[in-house]
Every structure is written in C-alpha cells, then in structure tokens.
Amino acid sequence: MKYMKKSFSNMEPYFSKLITDGIIMNANESPVNPPKAILDEFYETIKNVDFNRYPDMAEEALCEALANHYNVKKNEVTVGVGSDELLDVTFRAVLEKGDNVVGFSPSFSMYKVFTELMQANYIAVYGDENYIFNVDDMIKVIKQYNPKMVLICTPNNPTGQHLNKNEIIKVIESTNALILLDLAYIDFAEEDYIDLASKYDNVIGFKTYSKAMALPSIRVGYAISNEDNINMIKAVKPPYSVTTLSQIMATIAIKNFDLYKNQINDIKNERDRLFNELNNLGFKVYPSSANFIFVVMDDKYNDLLLENKIYIRKFNKGIYRISIGTKEENNKLLEVIRNAK
C-alpha cells in the first residue's frame, strides 16, 4: 500500500473469507433464507425492471415503506449500502481532525476504523471481567473528554449484552454529543429502541436488513432520526448507492415483516438452547440478546470444528463468537464438542 498516506499506514483491509461449503456460524447471518412469500413477490416484481436505468436516487418507495413501518415521516428515514455505509457517512459528515469519539469496547471493529479515517480520537470504555458495560462509566468518560460523538451498539457485537432503555436514555440525556445508536441486532432482543431516534435531537438510530431479515446479500441498511440529521447524511452519501433490485427486495421485506416473526423466534429459542447446552458442558458463556453467543473455550475445540467444516469466529485466544444456526447445525456443533470433552 505504497500510496497510502502515513496517518493510515497501520490500517489493514477488513476481510472475511467467503465460505460456501460446510456449516457457516461465523458472520452473524441468518441460517435460513427469507420467507418464501417474500422471495416469490420479489421474483415476480423484477420481471418489470428496466435494467438500463439508474436506481431511484431518493429511494422513495423504500423510505416510504420504512416510515410507515416505524410510524415516522418519510423525510426522517434514509437508506444506504448496509448500515455500515450510513455509519461511515455520518462519521465523515460530523467529525474533524482531533475530535473525540466515545464508545464501548469490545464492540463493532469498524467504529474505530471510521474514527481513525477522520483522524479523530477513539476513546474506549471497557466492560468488566464479564464484558458487562456500565453506562455510568461511559458518562464519566463523556464528561472527561467532551466527545463530539458517542457510539452505542445494543445488543452489542460481539458480546451480546443488551442495555435497557433507561440506561440508554441516561447516556443520551447526559450529553449534547451526537449519539449513534446501532441497533443491528435489536430484533432478537425483547424491545426495540428505535423510537429514541425520533424523541431526541441528538440521536440517530441505525438498522440493517442483514441480520433478522436474512438479507445480507442485498446490502441495505437504514437510519432514522429528525429531518435535519437525515439531511446531513444525505448531503454526504454517494448517489445511486442502493441498487434497484436491493430497493425492491427491501421494500417487499419490510412490508411483510410479520412473516419473519417465526424465524426470529426460532433463532432466539436456539440461541437460548445453545447457551444452556454449552454452559452445562462447563464453558464460560455470556448472556446474549442477539443471534450469536460469546463463549470462552480452548482452541482445540475450534480446531475440531474446522476439521468438521463448522466455522465460528475467533477473537482472541480462547474467545469465540458463535452465530446461531438451524437446530440441525447447532446439534452438529454440540456433537463435535461433546465428543472432544
């Protein structure tokens, strides 16, 4: 990377190897496709697409469908290439060199990357020995460093911890900083907090189609906030970034969100079962409100899983994140681990 500027010289590409064979439990994807009725409507609709035309740059139909689903105004919603693009755009729109950004750690690794790309300072608030975050600790850091931006991912990736609504409100009301509320996994929790993005001027809520809605292939995320914050994002976001096909599928999916409820419940039930099974086998497993669990186990188990083409995500030595699979996939993982005990 000889042409990269010196301030970025320590950065490395974000990479996740494409796996097409075996049991894939390393990327927090859904283990099943979207409901058949949604796929059928999509296939029928795209017969009429003019492939020689650019996408709707304003994403009118999709933003209207999202606004109706969340009972907000259409001008309080915008969409992007995954919530990642919208987060990146927001960082670029808000931060200047030397600004402070506060976020919990460990959390989504791209937060620090987006911060460093703006030559701002990422200030981490660490959890305790059980990776439990304390909002009072975050508020102390906020008061000390006066950040321009505060990041909250709940349920948190990779630990699975879910802050309650009162805790989040406590942070929001403690500062005038812009709060980025990353709710990528919120549909696996007991309560969605996206309404806070409409109630507070300093909050932007981010959600994605990649997790509960089982559509990472279309790369669509969305942000909800007041019109001023949304216009700020739109001013910086590249044009035509969300393809016509992605807009069509995303619109159909959000209009039929009720069809996902059984799939989501199945994943939650399997998550709790996998948690209990691994806990009973003597592993340290952290409570999760997402579609994955965070677990401490000897690396030998991962070696055996790999031999059986079962792929989970390694973080540090002996620390792993396991995305929830189907019942059959989870049973296979448990079988390999039990046989190694």
Going by their DSSP bridges, the two strands 292-296 and 319-323 should be labelled as antiparallel
pLDDT digits (tens, 9 = 90+) for 40-73: 999 999 999 999 999 999 999 999 999 999 999 9
140, pLDDT greater than 70: yes
> Could you give the angle at which helices 327-340 and 261-280 cross, rounded to 10 degrees?
10
What is the predicted pLDDT for the residue at 107?
Answer: 96
What pLDDT shows up at residue 1? 67
pLDDT reported for residue 16: 67
- Tell me the pLDDT band of 115, cut-offs 50, 70 and 90: very high
The residue-averaged pLDDT of 285-294 equals 97
Please report, in angstroms and rounded to a whole number, the separation of the first and last CA atoms in the chain: 45
Q: Does domain 46-258 have CATH number 3.30.56.10?
A: no
Q: Across all residues in the chain, what is the average pLDDT? A: 95
Q: Yes or no: say if 8 and 117 are a contact pair by the CB < 8 Å rule.
A: yes
Q: What is the mean pLDDT of residues 80-91?
A: 97
Kindly report, as residue ranges, where domains of CATH 3.40.640.10 are found in the chain.
Answer: 46-258
Third-level CATH fold of 6-33+260-340:
Aspartate Aminotransferase, domain 1 (3.90.1150)
Handedness of CA 67, 30, 218, 225 (dihedral sign): positive
**Average pLDDT rounded to a whole number, residues 191-202:** 95
Residue ranges matching CATH 3.90.1150.10 in the chain: 6-33+260-340
